[in-house]
């Protein structure tokens, strides 16, 4: 996989997005809005130069910031961006993927969401991995440095499990990372939850320290931090964590492999992209 993007790839991507003379041509204000929708911090203001050149320059200027580029590529392929939804989004995804092929990258649909993945050597299949540049991205979202250190270490341990073939433990680690991420965000960003906890289905209060991943995922969706598709797909990963109990694994015989782990990273990337789009950075 090639990252950062080559400058010529960035220029070709800009041509697709602006679509001069085409049915989806974007005006200057629409380009600025697109960058905001992609959650770019300090999105640039249009300077009056030709639109394709201007957008290509923004992509090249941020080419080492993978998270910004990834969110933009996914947003361009997101049905929410278009009046007719899926139809236009799929046209853009096909055009974007044609330009990304030389970089061994592809925007794939995972649980109904556009997610950036790596193309396998045969060019037929997308593979997902842990989010890149995770330390920097988490420190922009979470003030507690100790919590960030723990989360980064959890992902590193999960990668070790994945690389060594411990697929079940890797999937358990993925769910654990998301649980820790949401716990840290809810603790810092919601004073009421920090003080009073959650109201459970039976009407009883549940403290944040005792809240499980299901409740935190549902709460993050209610707060519009994450989209429904990402929440629902992550619930599947949550169920997989039950296989930490050997009895459950013996009963269900899940037979996880490397593809299973890669698939579970997809919703993690979608959730992190959602959060970065919707939550103001702390630094």
pLDDT digits (tens, 9 = 90+) for 173-201: 999 999 999 999 999 999 999 999 998 77
Summarised one tens digit per residue, pLDDT across range 121-133 is 776 778 889 988 8
pLDDT (0 to 100) of residue 255? 87
Task: Report H helices in 51-144.
Answer: 51-61, 66-76, 86-100, 134-141
Range of the structural domain that residue 13 is part of: 7-127
Same domain, 266 and 154: yes
Instruction: Give the domain-ending residue among 69, 98, 127.
Output: 127
pLDDT at 1 over 60: no
DSSP 210: G
pLDDT at 65 over 80: yes
Asked whether residue 33 is assigned to any structural domain, the reply reads: yes
Check: CB of residue 228 under 8 Å from CB of residue 221: yes
How many domains, in total, are found in the chain? 2
Query: pTM to 2 decimals?
Result: 0.84
Same domain, 139 and 274: yes
DSSP result, 260-282:
HHHHHHHHHHHHHHHHHHHS---
Distance CA 211, CA 228 (A): 20
Same domain, 143 and 121: no
Residues 6 or more apart whose CB falls under 8 angstroms from that of 277 comprise: 37, 38, 39, 71, 75
Same domain, 28 and 91: yes
Asked whether residue 2 is assigned to any structural domain, the reply reads: no
Which residue in the block uniquely carries the two structure tokens 């290509």? 56
Summarised one tens digit per residue, pLDDT across range 140-154 is 999 999 999 999 999
């Amino acid at each position: 996989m090639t990252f950062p993007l080559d400058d010529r790839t960035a220029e070709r991507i800009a041509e697709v997005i602006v679509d001069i003379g085409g049915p989806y041509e974007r005006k200057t204000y629409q380009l600025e809005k697109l960058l905001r929708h992609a959650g770019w911090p300090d999105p640039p203001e249009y300077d009056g130069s030709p639109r394709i050149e201007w957008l290509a320059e923004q992509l090249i200027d941020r080419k080492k910031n993978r998270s910004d580029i990834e969110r933009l590529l996914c947003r361009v392929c997101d049905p929410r961006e278009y009046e007719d939804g899926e139809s236009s989004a799929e046209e853009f995804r096909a055009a974007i993927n044609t330009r990304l092929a030389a970089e061994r990258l592809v925007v794939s649909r995972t649980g109904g969401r556009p997610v950036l993945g790596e193309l396998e050597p045969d060019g037929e299949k997308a593979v997902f991995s842990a989010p890149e540049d995770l330390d920097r991205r988490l420190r922009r979202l979470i003030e507690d440095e100790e919590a960030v250190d723990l989360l980064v270490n959890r992902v590193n341990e999960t990668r070790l499990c994945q690389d060594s073939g411990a697929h079940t433990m890797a999937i358990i680690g993925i769910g654990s990372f998301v649980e820790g991420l949401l716990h840290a965000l809810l603790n810092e960003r919601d004073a009421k939850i920090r003080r009073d906890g959650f109201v459970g289905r039976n009407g009883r209060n549940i403290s944040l320290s005792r809240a499980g991943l299901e409740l935190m995922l549902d709460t993050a969706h209610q707060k519009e931090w994450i989209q429904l598709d990402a929440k629902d797909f992550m619930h599947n990963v949550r169920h997989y964590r039950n296989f930490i109990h050997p009895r459950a694994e013996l009963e269900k015989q899940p037979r996880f492999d490397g593809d299973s782990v890669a698939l579970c990273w997809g919703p993690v990337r979608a959730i992190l992209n959602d959060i970065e789009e919707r939550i103001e950075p702390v630094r």
